[in-house]
Amino acid sequence: MNAVLYGVQFSDTLGPEEVSRVSTALLTEPLGNLHPEQEYQALVEALRSNEELDTVVRTKHSESEVRQFLNNIVAELDDRRPWPTPALIELPVSEWGRFSGTDPIARIDMAWPAIQGPVRRMLKKPVGEERYWLILRLRSGTEIALVWPGWPGASATALLSTDRATPIPEIVEEVVNSTALDAKSIAIIGR
């Protein structure tokens, strides 16, 4: 709820355009590693709480306006069911062990700080690991990992996948289509 309010804190009105924009974002770009259903449930629970909702962000809107806005988002999310599967679903970084023996399928010529913007997710360093990881499930169901540094002494990020059935160019194409990564920065390595 606070993330939603943060995104509208400077909005002049909380009308239908904002409701549509926020609802679309919740469905297509879920917050952190939440799924749309978790976002939806969090909003429903906040509205049921009968507590003051805008205690952290402090928008310029009244409590009744904030409640109505969040109720309108919940209603719009209900109207949009069934929801599309998000292009990227972040998986727990604790899953990194499943990828640890996997060879990279592609090299992304970007370091971890630079890659986070286009992927819209943060790489994390698991306890006991020296590299930064981001583990994702693509809309197709293929699971991938971005690992930095991908190679000793190189500032590139490795793209790994546990999917052996899907051709590598298809996996890379889905990664490009699901992020703001430039295809020119990705070199397929193969298996």
Per the prediction, the chain carries an average pLDDT of: 91
Residue pair 178/160 in contact (Cβ under 8 Å)? The answer is no
Beta strand 157-161 pairing with 143-148:
antiparallel
Question: In 3-state terms, what secondary structure has residue 27?
Answer: helix
Query: What tokens were used for 78?
Result: 């209900």
Q: Please give the Cα distance from 132 to 124 (Å, whole number).
A: 5
pTM for the full predicted model: 0.76
Interior/surface letters 10-35, b for 16+ CB within 10 angstroms, e for the rest: ebeebeeebbeebbeebbeebbeebe
Average pLDDT on 102-130 reads 92
Average pLDDT on 45-50 reads 92
pLDDT for residue 163: 94
Q: Which residues contact 9 (CB under 8 A, 6 or more apart)?
A: 57, 58, 59, 60
Residue 140 confidence (pLDDT) above 90? yes
Other CB atoms closer than 10 Å to residue 143's CB: what's the count?
Answer: 18
Lowest mean pLDDT among 26-30, 76-80, 173-177, 186-190: 26-30
Average pLDDT on 133-140 reads 94
pLDDT for residue 181: 96
Percent of the chain scoring above 90 in pLDDT: 64
pLDDT for residue 164: 92
The pLDDT tens digits for 18-46 are 999 999 999 988 887 778 999 999 999 99
pLDDT for residue 180: 94
Residue 191 confidence (pLDDT) above 80? no
pLDDT for residue 108: 97
The pLDDT tens digits for 75-110 are 999 999 999 888 888 898 888 989 978 999 999 999
pLDDT for residue 30: 80
